[in-house]
Structure 1
């Protein structure tokens, strides 16, 4: 897959990094030398180019790109000009960062393939984490449905997905995956998540599609999908489940 990212601010740089990590070929373009330098070791090609001059963009294989992302975050005029220029150059798909309601309206008139508002996504995720106890992050899918990351309620710890399937079904909640703390290769022990962050993905492994026999641990993170109105009810309901008693120590049992 080949992508062109125009605008290498914070959003554009993160996008380039993630695309490259997934194996995509990435062309990054920005008028600021420091922004280009920040991604030159990450992307395949990083170019310093003035946005206000549309002519030089013809040198790039825009038609061959699977998508062009206009990630400009501070220049309405440049964003509009770039959108029109990418159309002229035959871009297959244009994804545009929205700067304002008026900008969004104009982009829709231009029939841009996809509109992105990073700040809105971040704000919605923060709102979910602030309003629902145990939620660390959230992603609003629209139409009243969300994906959230949540700590394991006390009532779930020690139980399996099979044992709790009825309550998941009752609230129409789908368990997408489980993120679990992993042993440190040097210390050989489980590392706790930083208290002030709530989670550190570098110390967690994603378990993939959960099987019915997966047992929830107290320090797991659950990635859940469901209706926004049902998720708080579900988390409250499972927190009220009878806690699973700790397993007896095998050595103690043998002595008895």
Structure 2
């Protein structure tokens, strides 16, 4: 479970919030318009009404307690930019801001965003899945049962080969690629030895992969 803050409860903010709740996260939501959060009051742990361009409002949120702050402000990009800059300046650990165009993304990244997402490219459910665990860098649902994950190797795998770990036999997943500072190795050999800097691209059933990544 992670402590997460969503600023801006428009359509994307709602979808993201519902998905994060389903994944058992502790979610706080903020919007300057009360009607935007009314339907969520009995679903989330904390609901705040306030304008997050105001430093006093932001300070009252206690940013240091949140693992991730999502800035999901809708049509007013100037407000989104101000809030992104302010929350980072006031101590947010990791800020993910919503952009509609590449030029917006560039400004957000220069003004405090650690990451930028595009609502028309990044499904709220995929973003929620990725941000609810410490081990998933990327996620894509392929079918009702199978998904593609980009993950870090488990601690107990480090220094061992794929064959020694018994990836398919013991974990029921398939490694289709390994990405690190040397590039990407497609369909790596069974003798490949896991390193802490590796990103593993794997396919597996959600029921097999997700319990493995818990914790």
**TM-score computed with the length of structure 1 as normaliser:** 0.49
Any idea what SS the aligned residue of 1:118 has? coil
Aligned partner of 1:25 in structure 2 is: 26
For residues 17 and 111 of structure 1, the distance between their equivalents in structure 2, rounded to whole angstroms, comes to 26
For residues 18 and 28 of structure 2, the distance between their equivalents in structure 1, rounded to whole angstroms, comes to 11
Q: Which moved more, 1:68-77 or 1:94-103?
A: 94-103
Q: What value does the CA root-mean-square deviation take over the aligned residues?
A: 3.3
Matches within 5 A, 1:231-242: none
After TM superposition, where is structure 1 displaced by more than 6 Å over at least 4 residues in a row? none
For residues 60 and 144 of structure 2, the distance between their equivalents in structure 1, rounded to whole angstroms, comes to 47
Any idea what SS the aligned residue of 1:95 has? strand
For residues 77 and 96 of structure 1, the distance between their equivalents in structure 2, rounded to whole angstroms, comes to 12
Aligned partner of 2:106 in structure 1 is: 105
For residues 174 and 27 of structure 1, the distance between their equivalents in structure 2, rounded to whole angstroms, comes to 32
Any idea what SS the aligned residue of 1:120 has? coil
Aligned partner of 1:148 in structure 2 is: 142
Any idea what SS the aligned residue of 2:37 has? helix
Question: 1:148-168 CA deviation, whole Å, 9 max, x = no partner?
Answer: 2289xxxxxxxxxxxxxxxxx
The answer to whether the Cα contact below 8 Å between 1:74 and 1:99 also exists between their aligned partners in 2 is no
Equivalences, count: 147
Contiguous gaps of at least 5 residues in structure 1: 126-140, 152-168, 178-205, 210-256
Residue 147 of structure 1: how far off its partner (Å): 5.1
Question: 1:219-256 CA deviation, whole Å, 9 max, x = no partner?
Answer: xxxxxxxxxxxxxxxxxxxxxxxxxxxxxxxxxxxxxx
| 2:204 is the alignment partner of 1:176 | yes
Contiguous gaps of at least 5 residues in structure 2: 127-137, 146-175, 177-186, 188-200, 210-215
The answer to whether the Cα contact below 8 Å between 2:8 and 2:29 also exists between their aligned partners in 1 is yes
**TM-score computed with the length of structure 2 as normaliser:** 0.58
For residues 35 and 64 of structure 2, the distance between their equivalents in structure 1, rounded to whole angstroms, comes to 28
For residues 95 and 23 of structure 1, the distance between their equivalents in structure 2, rounded to whole angstroms, comes to 19
The answer to whether the Cα contact below 8 Å between 1:17 and 1:43 also exists between their aligned partners in 2 is no
